[in-house]
Amino acid sequence: MDVPELVSGPAQLVLTATVARRYYVDGRSKVEIADELQISRFKVARLLEQALSTGLVRIEIGHPGSIDVELSSRLRDHLGLRTAIVVETQETDQSALRSLLARAAGELLTETVTAADVLGFAWARAVASLVPTLGGMAAAPVVQLTGSLVRDDLTVTSTEIVRDVGRLTGGRVSCFYAPFLLPDRETARTLRKQADIAKVLARFSDVTKAVVGLGAWGAGRSTIFDAMTVKDRRALNAAGVVADVSGVFLDAEGRIVGRDQTARLICMDAAQLAGVDEVFAVPYGVEKSPAVLAAARSGLVTSMVTHDAMARELLGMPAV
């Protein structure tokens, strides 16, 4: 008789708990669950067996770790995400929250990334924080997705992020040296044509999984906001921007706006980002919840790791 696999990684844990809850608590059939989650009924049966054999299901569904499986499942459904991982914590300090979520995000990437993937990394503080957790991840090729911002309070560049990931995992690295934000569209266009940069940008279409920054549009909540001129901020404010996804700007409904400003950035544009199979973000701080909702509505971000306070705030907002 086959021995069921252990429920180990966070995505597998949340999926197993979701299946178990719908079967044992909600009374849905295996066929109904398979249709709802777009998996085979045979996988549903295997997951139910795993839930029992690993002790995830006893009298109630639960898990002794820091991942809140019920909130994770509810948030996934509410925002229409592929994967949602919600970490239970009383922490409110931004730096501590970032580090806590980085560990969970690192576990998720280690679980889901394979050597057949091409993994892209944009610049963001949360992205930089998760890099040290990736030592066990598969040796997938790693591609730099954004140029670098130079500020006194930013200690790691986007180039260093991908180089560090490659060093930790052994994955082949494609990186370039260029600013994130340029003074005008023509300068950005010229820079993109430089051979070493163009070679990396050509790899954007190969990226299967991307890790991006998700900022709320406001001072101290988006490094791009802080780097832009007053004129650009006013133009983006007039366009209704509430979020930026590593250089792609969104209004509250998740519509793409600010294309003129994105054209001045060295980054994936909206069409390229939409072409990536799975896009991960690690948002934290409940004040960013409107930006997170906009990102979910846009469909550009498909998977999230966040904390329970953010999840509850989002669950109080309209579903996607």
How does pLDDT run across 74-131, given as a tens digit for each residue? Answer: 999 999 999 999 999 988 888 889 989 999 999 999 999 999 999 999 999 899 999 9
How many folded domains does the chain comprise? 2
pLDDT of residue 7: 56
pLDDT for the residue 78:
98
Query: What pLDDT shows up at residue 2?
Result: 40
| Partners of residue 280 on adjacent β-strands | 211, 303
pLDDT at 154: 65
264 contacts 228 by C-beta, under 8 angstroms: no
Co-location of 26 and 165 in the same domain = no
**Is 125 found in the same domain as 27?**
no
CATH of the domain at 227: 3.40.50.1360
Residues of the chain below pLDDT 50: 1-5, 59-65
**CB under 8 Å to 178, separation ≥6 — which residues?**
147, 148, 191, 194, 197, 266
- Within-domain flag for 78: no
| Alpha carbon separation from 220 to 125, 137, 215 (Å, rounded) | 12, 32, 9
Q: What is the pLDDT of residue 258?
A: 96
Residue 23 lies in a domain: yes
**Statement to judge: residues 178 and 118 lie in one domain:** yes
pLDDT at 59: 45
- CB distance 115 to 101 below 8 Å: no
Q: The pTM is what?
A: 0.83
**Are residues 131 and 243 located together in one domain of the fold?**
yes
Residue 52 is part of which domain span?
10-64
Report yes or no on 86 lying in a domain: no
Which tens digits make up the pLDDT trace of 290-318? 999 999 999 999 999 999 999 999 999 99
CA 214 to chain centre: 8
pLDDT given for residue 6 in this prediction: 53
Claim to verify: residue 207 and residue 130 sit in the same structural domain: yes
- 77 and 314 Cβ atoms separated by less than 8 Å: no
Alpha-carbon distances, residue 110 vs 51, 157, 160, 223, 301 (angstroms): 21, 22, 20, 27, 19
Domain-located, residue 281: yes
Q: What is the pLDDT of residue 25?
A: 76
Looking at the structure, tell me whether residues 39 and 130 fall in a common domain: no
